[in-house]
Structure 1
C-alpha cells in the first residue's frame, strides 16, 4: 500500500486542560501548586483565601501571608482595629477589606513580591495625600517594603480620615 502524500495531519487533536497529564502540572511554579491542607499562594505571595465577612477570613489571610509580610499584616490589622473600634472586616478578591457598616469600604491591603500595598479608596482626599498614585481617580496607595519604618502616627491619621469618608460599595 502506498503512503499518502497529503499534507493533512492524522495526529490526534491536542488534549484539553481537563485531560492534562500529571507531568505537565509539575511544571508550574511551586507557589502555584495546589497544596492540600494549606493556603495556596498566588503571584507575589498573595494568599488565596475564600471570600467571607468578619474577622476570621481576615485573620486567615494574615496568617497565610509569607514571612515578613505576615508581620506587616498583623501590624496593619492591629492599628486599624485599635484606631476604628467596631471596624467591619471581610476578604474579597483575596484581599482584606476594612469599612464601616452602611458606609462601605475605606481601606484594603494586598501582598506583592517586594511589598505590601495599602489602598485608601478615597486617598486623594486625605491630608497629606498618601504617596502612591492609582489609575483610579480617588485611590491612593502606601507601599510597605520589608525594611521600611512604618510611621504609625501618620498611618493611624490616614485610617481615621479614611473612615470618615464615604466608602466603596463592593
Structure 2
C-alpha cells in the first residue's frame, strides 16, 4: 500500500525529505478505503480528468482531494455512507440534470452526495466539471484585466 505521508530518503549528503504528491495521496486514499467509496472516488476522479484534462489535483485541509482549474472545481470527501463532491461555485452553475442533491441552501457551494447504490450520470457530471472550470477561468480572466 502506498503511504500518504512524507517519507525520508537517504542521499549521499545526509537525509532529504521526499513528499508524496497530491495525486499519490489521492491514490492512497482510494486504496485505503477498500470498498464502494474508493471505487466511487476513483470513478469520479477519472470523469473529472476526462472532462478537464488540465485539471490539477491537490490535497488540502488535512486529507481532502481537490480538483482545480483556474480555482477550485470541486472537492471529494468520503464519509461512512456517502462520497461528497462539493463544487466550490456550484450555485452559479446550471444543473439541468439535477445532480446537485446536497448543500442546496447556500449562496455559493453545491454538492452531490453519492451513495453506495447510486449510478453516476457520467455525461452530466462531466458537463458540470467543464462548466465549473470555464466559470473559474472566466473569473480569473476578469480579475487579470483589472
Task: Work out whether 1:114 is the aligned partner of 2:78.
Answer: no
Q: Distance in 2 between matches of 1:116 and 1:137?
A: 22
* SS of residue matched to 1:164: helix
Structure-to-structure mapping, 1:50-89, within 5 angstroms: 50=5, 53-89=21-57
The answer to whether the 8 Å contact 2:101/2:112 transfers is yes
Of 125-134 and 148-157, the range deviating more from structure 2: 125-134
Deviation at 1:160, TM superposition (A): 0.8
Q: Distance in 2 between matches of 1:121 and 1:53?
A: 22
Give 5+ residue unaligned stretches, structure 1.
1-36, 40-48
Give 5+ residue unaligned stretches, structure 2.
7-19, 138-146
The answer to whether the 8 Å contact 2:91/2:106 transfers is no
Give the equivalent residue in structure 2 for 1:157: 127
Change (3 A) 1:50 1:118: farther
Greater gyration radius? 1
Deviation at 1:66, TM superposition (A): 3.7
The answer to whether the 8 Å contact 1:65/1:73 transfers is no
Task: Work out whether 1:142 is the aligned partner of 2:109.
Answer: no
Q: Distance in 2 between matches of 1:160 and 1:50?
A: 31
Deviation at 1:155, TM superposition (A): 0.8
Q: Greater strand percent: which structure?
A: 2
Aligned length: 120
* SS of residue matched to 1:117: strand
Deviation at 1:65, TM superposition (A): 2.3
RMSD: 2.4
Give the equivalent residue in structure 2 for 1:15: none
The answer to whether the 8 Å contact 2:23/2:58 transfers is yes
